[in-house]
Amino acid sequence: MEKKSPLISVIVPVYNVAPYIRRCLDSIAAQNYPELEIIAVDDASTDGSGQLCDACAESEARLQVVHFAENRGPSAARNEGIRRAAGAYLCFVDADDRVEPDLLDRLYASLREAEADVSVCGADGIRLAGGPAGVFSGEEAIVCMAREIPFNYVPWAKLYAAAPVKACLFDERIYYSEDILFLYELFQHVGRVSYVPDILYHYNNDREDSQVHSGVSVRKLTALKVHDHVCDHAGERFPEAALYFRRLSLDVDSRWAMLTVESDAEKRQIFSLLKRLQSHIRRHYDRKALQLLPERKSRVAVRTLHASVPLFWGMASLYKYVKRWLRK
């Protein structure tokens, strides 16, 4: 008798993604892999996303929908899905993305063949260097995610053995960069990570209201704690990865500083945020990490803010007005 495939639980955190959620859920339901359940966790959406999930569940028996009474953030939504998951393996899909029909088939086959705890596939719509198929130790996987070669620190486009994930939940106090912290901690507790270079996951980078494109908020600044922990801990345990985590921290700080100046916040608030980002840049400043930043404007922004908040504010304001003038 042919052995039955183990159940895979696909967890979808949902928040204000009405234009995309049906496409996402349809792509998961169309998987070639025979045994799966889909858990959509509506994080108190205000645009009808939760109701759209309910409508999909009426025609898809494998889909269960959970509704939060108040917005709790992506970490809490994923954790709720993890706790409810009955599968031996887990997969995360963001609600505005879509996946290829053989995503789970290919990831499961790779995981089993390599006797790994995590398998990873290629993705488009996001900056990744890619690379050939391979198998990595947990420590090597930390270096991979830090360098973003061949994969990076996002939780999606990956299949996980459920046990280590259930023992290493997302930190619900963190609302941004929670994925970096999750994978950094998880990879320290796994044996092997396999990589399949084929693009089986499609990331949607066009949403102007996504967290990546949105302004800087108190919730978003919880990411600074993540970068502090990862940079400091990796500096002691994983020095090869630490340089690249510092690069990531400087890159995030520079982009957020520009968003702060471009915002409509009061001057006092802008100055306070820039001072906080300056302090963070000074904590993790490293000349080698700075040279690894892919864009010259980011390197200039880091150097300028490191030196002076007023100088950065003036230069960033001028850059903002020049951009607006060129759009006319």
Asked if residue 92 lies in contact with residue 158, where contact means CB atoms within 8 angstroms, the answer is yes
Q: State pLDDT tens for residues 165-179.
A: 999 999 999 999 999
For residue 136, the cross-strand partners are 193
Provide the pLDDT for residue 110.
98
The bridge status of strand 158-161 relative to strand 118-124 is antiparallel
Cis previous bond, 310, omega within 30? no
Provide the pLDDT for residue 206.
78
Token pair recorded at residue 301:
């922004």
Question: Measured between alpha carbons, how far is 182 from 186 in angstroms, rounded to an integer?
Answer: 6
In the predicted model, residues of the chain with pLDDT beneath 50 are: 1, 213
Provide the pLDDT for residue 1.
46
Provide the pLDDT for residue 276.
96
Question: Measured between alpha carbons, how far is 106 from 97 in angstroms, rounded to an integer?
Answer: 18
* pTM listed for this prediction: 0.92
Reference 196, options 261, 274, 112; nearest CA is 112
Q: Which amino acid is at 230?
A: V
Reference 142, options 232, 219, 244; nearest CA is 244
Provide the pLDDT for residue 323.
63
For the chain, how many residues are written?
328
Provide the pLDDT for residue 127.
81
Reference 263, options 206, 311, 216; nearest CA is 216
Provide the pLDDT for residue 327.
63
Asked if residue 10 lies in contact with residue 161, where contact means CB atoms within 8 angstroms, the answer is no
Provide the pLDDT for residue 213.
47
Provide the pLDDT for residue 57.
98
Provide the pLDDT for residue 214.
56
- Name 110's Cβ contacts closer than 8 Å, sequence gap at least 6: 116, 119, 121, 133, 194, 195, 196
